Structure 1
Amino acid sequence: MHGGGAAATLRYMTHVPPPAEELVLLDRELARLDARRLQLLHRRAWLLSVLGPVVAPPSRPPARAVSGPGPAAPPVWSAPVPAGPAAVSGGRGAQNVLLVLGGLLLAVAAIAFTLFSWGEMGIAGRSAVLAAVTAGALAAPAALLRRGLTSTAEALAAVALLLTVLDAYALHAVALPDADGLAFAATAAAVLAGGWAVYGVVLGRLRLPLPAAVVAAQLPLVLGAAAADASALVTGWALLLTAAADLALVLRGGRLAVRVTAGAGAGCAGPLALLTAVFLSLSAGGVAGAVGPGVLLLAGAGVAAACGWRAPREWAVAAGAVAGSAAVAAVGGVVRPGVPGNWATVVYLLCAAALVPVLRVRAVPRPLGGGVLGASAAVAGWAVLWALPVTAVALLGPVEAAAGPWSGAPEGLRAASGSPAPWQGGAAPVALLVAAALLGWLCSGRALSGAPGAVPGARVRTAAGAGALGLVWCAVPAALLVADAPYAVAVAVELLSVAGLLAWAVRREPDAVTGTALGCAGAGAVGAGLLAAASEPATYAVFLVLAAVCAVTAVRAGALVVRAALAVGAVLCAVVPAVCVGVSLGWGAYGAVVVLAVPAATVVLGARLRQAAVALSVEGAGASGALVAVVVAVPRPPVLALVLALAGVLAAATALRAARRPFAGYLAAVLFVLASWVRLAASEVAEPEAYTLPVSVAAFAVGLLRRRRDAETSSWAAYGPALGVTLVPSLMAAWGDPHWLRPLVLGAAALAVTLVGAHRRLQAPLVLGGAVLALDALHELAPHVVQVFDALPRWAFPALAGLLLLAVGATYEQRLRDARRVRESLGRMR
């Protein structure tokens, strides 16, 4: 192809216009850039004229030369940027630094003068210096503000405020040395707070005096109480009054700095006051001693409520929570000394419940009411956590208390649980029931119906109903434990509660309440089963009743999920009596055959059930029963082989259904192979090939016929059982055979199987044959390897290991690619 033709073809493929058209485009673009540059230069000139001589124009970057006939133009980023604002801000920053340093130096000088040079001057000199310096420092900011030097005025005002503090110290040290230090400090703080406040109001443009006055105002009442050796209650009142004054400043508005400072002060003084009152209330030995802290707590609740009435939404919720908590602590603290110790929680819970009707008052803002409800919920949650251990002991106590299964029925539930009278006493079930009543009231919607727009949503009501149901159920075993109910009564009540919950749950649509009912029923079934383990008749009765109840409710359940869950529960409950039959008859490992009756029933039932999800759940539960049977039969290998074979029969029967064939067929093959291995090992057969080869030939023939009928059949399903029946037992026999013939024959057979699998691209022969060949070779080479390692020095093995790691690390990516190729090749095989 000629050069011209190649160039034309290249331009056509890269979409580049001819040179003439490209030149026109470049000229237009450069003209547009020139116009934009001229516009930016005009704007820059105007900005320089506005900023004046403060800003020095930066040097203009040179324009880049553009080749071609078009006019040269600089790039867009060559337009200069004015440096005015940066220069101005930098100047102000330097000014502030200088002012701060100057103020600090003056403050240091004033402190040094007060501490070291004060004693060298007379009374007149001291007075003159104090008056002159303080007056000058206080007056100077006013003159500076008139000249517009605000920053300088702020710096001198800070020095002036510090000088007033030093003046107060000097006054106490010289004029009033005998005055009480705390009392003088309280008086000085009050005077300084008032003076700084007046000074800040007069010089309204200063930002520091008013926040400083708020800080000083935090001290007078607290220091005064300390000076008077007041009690903790009086100190709490001083803190509360200080916090109330701070909150008044916050709500009053004004400068942000004043409100922030006052809010910080209230956040420190208010909690300290309430915590002091709570401590005094809890430590009071009688009703009279709890009245004072209770009044303080009620006052704190009133202050928080008044603050929340006008506060924004988030702060109103927090204020409502504080007000509700303080009110509960106040009333409950007064009543608490008059009741037994374990009933104090119920007293506080009832006080929290009394707060809920406040939400029906329309005048109460909704955020404030929400905070009160949150406080009530927090108290209820604490009471529930306090009471739940009793329920846990009643349900799970038999696990540790029982000396062994069927050790004998105890007299009462406490003996069965191995627990004495719980320290919560009878208050635990009462607390659970009161908390359940609160949630039930919220679920009904009457708790908030008085507030406009406050009716709880469907999800909230459902969650409240679920919580109420769960707490009522938790109260039942707790009450049985507290009352030390007789053993038979406790078992019967727990069974009735399970049956009642299941019968009620199957009539509802699936939701949180239904799930809670099912969960409580399951926990109750576990508790009843653990409790029944102490007696043989009780074990049979409880689990048979549970199996029957689960089966009946599963039939009546409308929701598919509920029906599947109940069906699983029925099967699992039926497994326990099947295990107990063998134990009662003394059959030992032979009892596993009885346990297999439950999986056999599930196989038949699964084939007759119409709903696939329920059928699958039933069959899965039956498979767990078969696993239990295998565990029971482990001590006797011959029985274990029989159980594995019977389980394989059940899996093969399940595989007759097309929907279960892929998984159940593999499972049946594995179980049959395991059964043959266990049987050979249990019989101590020295020549397993005599038994396995005929089976392998027959199984191989069946697999070959299946592959001819269905070419898509996996090689594991067709040839896996035939190969596994012979190769694995032979490998186990070869590892214990000291002669060379069996390993040689086994290695040759495994090599042949591996080659056939590789040639025919069959996964099962390749994997099984290769694994047996590798293990057989390892067995034969192991003595020689041991001799080699014995001959090598001890440092040789770490060195070889290090070299191997280095080689693998250096070719890590290549090894990964090789492993990926092997996996893909195996995946493509049948």
Structure 2
Amino acid sequence: MEHVPPPAEELALLDRELAWLDARRVQLLDRRAWLLGVLRTPVVPPPPPPARPFAPAPSTRPFAPAAPAHGTQNVLLVLGGLLLTVAAIAFTLFSWGEMGIAGRSAVLAVVTAGALVVPAPLLGRRLPSTAEAVAALALVLTVLDAVALHAVAAPGTDGFAFSAVAAAVLVVIWTAYGLSLGRLRVPLPSAVVAGQFPLVFAAWAVEAPVAGFGWALLVTAAADVAVALWGRGLAVRVTACAGAVLTGLTALGLGLGLSVSARDALGAVGPGALLLAGGALALAGAWRARTEAAVFGGVVAGLAAVASVGGVPAAALPWSWAVVVYLLCGAGLSAVLRLRVPRPVSRGLLAASAAVVGAAVLWAAPVAAAALLGPVSLSAGVWSGAPEALREALGIALPWSASASEPVVLAVAAGLTAVVYVRWPRTLAEGSGRAVAGSVATVLGWGAVPALLAVTDAPYAVAVGAELLLVAALLAASVRRGGDALAVTGLVCALAGAASVGVLGLAAEPATYAVFGTLAVLSGGAAARSGVTTVRSLLVCGSVLCATVIAVAAGASLGWSAPHTAPLVLVVTAATVLLGARSRVPAVAVAVELTGAFAALVAVLLAVADAPFLSLVLALCGVLAAASALRPERRRAAGYPAAALFLAAAWVRLAASGVTDPEAYTLPVSVAAFVVGHLRLRRDPSASSWVAYGPALSMTMVPSLLVAWGDPHWLRPLLLGIAALAVTLAGARLRLRAPLVIGGAVLALDGLHELAPHVVQVFDALPRWAPPALAGLLLLAVGATYEQRLRDARRVRESFGRMR
């Protein structure tokens, strides 16, 4: 019989299998014993079983101990390298003097050479982490070698000069070392870090001026940019990029400081050259990179170019006009739109242009704000006389003579954004970007006009006329464009300008009529031509407000007092009632009527000081509200206010006439109103009890309650309480909401009036701790039955809701 495999090999195979089974059995028995020990003594678990021969591979052994993690290995290596570094530094600083020159040189040479050589065999044995730690120690030792060399071989050499040479030598050594051992990741980034110092130390050694330091930093940044673009490895490029940003921005900051502080154009040439070189370097790096990081390079290049080109002429001008120079240079960056520039670089340059323009606008904005908000100071001196020039009407004190360039800045910025809005390529102007440019141009152009008028101290009449023309132009443009973003911006500017010129027109009586009359006509005409409902509503409201101001001014011109002027203001409200009824757009009608209601409120406030006229004004307001209530869509919204206004007019008339027994006047009216309400309820059972019985009950009970509160006798409160109780019970019995609420409220207030003196006496007799104690007991009782109280309140609310 033939065996496959041969008998000898099969026997050996069986022996190995049996040995593996024995080892496995022993391992499982050990594990079982360990688990039993854990169950018996869970506090101190025994150590894991030792490894056995012939054990299976780690991937097939479920209880094999895990190998140490890479994180632990790295921590150990870092700690070891750190300890060796500390030991080397301590040896160099404290034990150096105990050895001779030969010993010192030998020790450092041997240790450094060994640290530099060891990483190579470690890499060959596939120990990269250990090699990195030793390489880092070797780099630190080379720095210590340089320090020791200066102390021993050249103690009299200037420290900065020696540091510059040493840093350059270390850059060469570390670069060669990193290139020879390409698998090490520490030497090359370290060489980049060391490369930041040679030129700076050299400038320090020769005591170079600030410009010299700037050029040294800029050359260093250029080297960093080259390494970042063509260097080996991500770590090297990232380190070089960080170095380029740090040294480059520092150099540009030094150049900017020198350019701004230059006393003349010649003194700004040198800093300008430094800034221009820095901008060129940033542009070259951004152009080569062509990534999102290139946007930052484009921004730096653009700002540096503006500071360089604008700094030379700006140095010969006052600061106010230097801003204009910088603004024009920033505007020139927009020419990049016509060049074939990579998109990220183009975005960066445009962002730099926008930043320069925005900074110039922020610098000029206070003058425009003062010109627009200054007329508010005239509110305390209405019709005090028209000033000769505009500045007299501006209460904000500014150095106007030194602000001649602010309107120019605003105008140039407006023109630039307008050009961008009109000429920007479609690929960059589609969507919200183009709308923003147009809106910004509108706002800046609008703000430049009042700023120019204020700076030039235009005559009062000219300033008012110019601002009215500006409002008219903005309204016309807004209405013509419809409802896009530019139209909305123009409308907002027009409304703000109208408010400013309106306040400015209050300085003199003729100016008030001219300004507010013109604004009313402009707003009404624009509203008639607008096809956007919201715009039309806003403009109609503005026109009604201007008419209200004219009505008040007319009363003042006629010499009437404020109460006598109130009925004249109600003419505006009457006009809004007619316009609301004739309007075919519901939203516009609502806006008109609400503005008319505001005019009616102004009339009421004007008549408050005279009770008879207040009664007349309230009655007229009630008539106007009742006229609006004749329209079916306004019946509920205007009907209740009309009834309330009539009641208020009657009460005010009674109080103004000194009537002490109002029931003689109110009861007949209440009876008549009650009969009318009862007939209304019979014809329309679904009508609310508030409409049917509310006016009748309020007409008598409310004035009686007011008189009863001041009546020292008992008869009136008693009769009023009996009547209120009867009305309340009738409302509860008939399930009518108005009698229940009005009668209950009057009954409660009447009872409170009668009990108030006695309650005061009781509280005076109680100790001071009693009220808090009673309140606490009440809260405890309510809290204990909180859910029951909620159910009761819910039932009351449901019952009340079922009433009419």
Give me the TM-score of the superposition, normalised by structure 2: 0.89
Query: Does the residue aligned with 2:72 lie in a helix, a strand or coil?
Result: helix
Task: Give 1:721's aligned residue.
Answer: 695
Query: Does the residue aligned with 2:458 lie in a helix, a strand or coil?
Result: coil
Moved more, 543-552 or 419-428: 419-428
CA deviations on 1:740-778 (whole Å, 9 max, x unpaired) are: 222222222222222333333333222222222222222
Whether contact under 8 Å (2:92, 2:148) holds in the other structure is: yes
Distance in 2 (alpha carbons) for counterparts of 1:614 and 1:427: 44
Task: Give 2:413's aligned residue.
Answer: 435
Distance in 2 (alpha carbons) for counterparts of 1:317 and 1:281: 25
Moved more, 218-227 or 647-656: 218-227
Task: Give 1:17's aligned residue.
Answer: none
Deviation at 1:466, TM superposition (A): 2.8
Whether contact under 8 Å (1:110, 1:163) holds in the other structure is: yes
CA deviations on 1:6-40 (whole Å, 9 max, x unpaired) are: xxxxxxxxxxxxxxxxxxxxxxxxxxxxxxxxxxx
Distance change in 2, residues 1:227/1:568 (3 Å): same
Distance in 2 (alpha carbons) for counterparts of 1:425 and 1:671: 55
Deviation at 1:799, TM superposition (A): 3.2
Deviation at 1:585, TM superposition (A): 2.2
Q: Tell whether 2:564 aligns with 1:590.
A: yes
Distance in 2 (alpha carbons) for counterparts of 1:516 and 1:204: 62
Whether contact under 8 Å (2:264, 2:315) holds in the other structure is: yes
Residue 356 (structure 2) aligned to one of 379, 388, 393: 379
Distance change in 2, residues 1:296/1:825 (3 Å): farther
Residue 306 (structure 2) aligned to one of 328, 341, 350: 328
Give me the TM-score of the superposition, normalised by structure 1: 0.86
Residue 686 (structure 2) aligned to one of 687, 704, 712: 712
Distance change in 2, residues 1:808/1:138 (3 Å): farther
Whether contact under 8 Å (2:417, 2:440) holds in the other structure is: yes
Unaligned segments of structure 2, at least 5 residues: 1-19, 37-57
Distance in 2 (alpha carbons) for counterparts of 1:634 and 1:86: 96
Deviation at 1:714, TM superposition (A): 2.2
In structure 2, give the amino acid aligned to 1:430: V
Q: Tell whether 2:243 aligns with 1:265.
A: yes
Whether contact under 8 Å (2:295, 2:348) holds in the other structure is: yes
Q: Tell whether 2:620 aligns with 1:654.
A: no
Q: Give the count of matched residue pairs.
A: 756
CA deviations on 1:641-670 (whole Å, 9 max, x unpaired) are: 211111111000000001111101111122
Q: Cα RMSD between the aligned structures?
A: 2.8
Task: Give 1:406's aligned residue.
Answer: 383
Whether contact under 8 Å (1:357, 1:447) holds in the other structure is: no
Deviation at 1:509, TM superposition (A): 2.3
Query: Does the residue aligned with 1:759 lie in a helix, a strand or coil?
Result: helix
Residue 484 (structure 2) aligned to one of 511, 515, 538: 511
Residue 751 (structure 1) aligned to one of 725, 749, 752: 725
In structure 1, give the amino acid aligned to 2:96: W
Deviation at 1:180, TM superposition (A): 2.2
Deviation at 1:811, TM superposition (A): 5.3
Deviation at 1:114, TM superposition (A): 1.5
Moved more, 193-202 or 94-103: 94-103
Task: Give 2:543's aligned residue.
Answer: 570
Q: Tell whether 2:251 aligns with 1:277.
A: no
Query: Does the residue aligned with 2:315 lie in a helix, a strand or coil?
Result: helix
CA deviations on 1:361-394 (whole Å, 9 max, x unpaired) are: 12x1122112111111121122222222222222
Task: Give 1:474's aligned residue.
Answer: 447
Deviation at 1:634, TM superposition (A): 1.6
CA deviations on 1:598-624 (whole Å, 9 max, x unpaired) are: 000111122122222222222121111
Whether contact under 8 Å (2:377, 2:393) holds in the other structure is: no
Task: Give 1:183's aligned residue.
Answer: 161
Identity of aligned residues (%): 64
Q: Tell whether 2:526 aligns with 1:553.
A: yes
Query: Does the residue aligned with 1:596 lie in a helix, a strand or coil?
Result: helix
Whether contact under 8 Å (1:414, 1:420) holds in the other structure is: no
Q: Tell whether 2:604 aligns with 1:630.
A: yes
Distance change in 2, residues 1:329/1:762 (3 Å): farther
Distance in 2 (alpha carbons) for counterparts of 1:58 and 1:234: 75
Query: Does the residue aligned with 2:118 lie in a helix, a strand or coil?
Result: helix
Whether contact under 8 Å (2:263, 2:316) holds in the other structure is: no
Task: Give 2:127's aligned residue.
Answer: 149
Distance change in 2, residues 1:247/1:745 (3 Å): farther
Deviation at 1:476, TM superposition (A): 1.2
Moved more, 262-271 or 351-360: 262-271
Distance change in 2, residues 1:273/1:764 (3 Å): farther
Distance in 1 (alpha carbons) for counterparts of 2:783 and 2:511: 64
Query: Does the residue aligned with 2:659 lie in a helix, a strand or coil?
Result: coil
Distance in 2 (alpha carbons) for counterparts of 1:627 and 1:330: 62
Query: Does the residue aligned with 2:400 lie in a helix, a strand or coil?
Result: coil
Distance in 1 (alpha carbons) for counterparts of 2:485 and 2:405: 28
Q: Tell whether 2:508 aligns with 1:530.
A: no
Unaligned segments of structure 1, at least 5 residues: 1-47, 63-79
Q: Tell whether 2:750 aligns with 1:776.
A: yes
Whether contact under 8 Å (1:507, 1:558) holds in the other structure is: no
Query: Does the residue aligned with 2:69 lie in a helix, a strand or coil?
Result: helix
Q: Tell whether 2:436 aligns with 1:463.
A: yes
Deviation at 1:536, TM superposition (A): 0.7
CA deviations on 1:406-465 (whole Å, 9 max, x unpaired) are: 011101001111345526622122111111111111121x3447xxxx352154333322
Q: Tell whether 2:140 aligns with 1:166.
A: no
Task: Give 1:730's aligned residue.
Answer: 704
In structure 2, give the amino acid aligned to 1:353: A
Query: Does the residue aligned with 1:142 lie in a helix, a strand or coil?
Result: helix
Distance in 2 (alpha carbons) for counterparts of 1:81 and 1:763: 85
In structure 1, give the amino acid aligned to 2:352: A
Alignment of 1:414-433 (within 5 A): 414-418=391-395, 419=397, 421-422=399-400, 425-433=403-411
Task: Give 1:26's aligned residue.
Answer: none
Distance change in 2, residues 1:383/1:803 (3 Å): farther
Whether contact under 8 Å (1:214, 1:258) holds in the other structure is: yes
Task: Give 2:346's aligned residue.
Answer: 369
Deviation at 1:129, TM superposition (A): 0.9
In structure 2, give the amino acid aligned to 1:326: A
Deviation at 1:786, TM superposition (A): 1.9
Deviation at 1:816, TM superposition (A): 5.1
Whether contact under 8 Å (2:290, 2:345) holds in the other structure is: no
Q: Tell whether 2:275 aligns with 1:301.
A: no
Whether contact under 8 Å (2:482, 2:530) holds in the other structure is: no
Distance in 2 (alpha carbons) for counterparts of 1:628 and 1:403: 19
Distance change in 2, residues 1:353/1:701 (3 Å): same
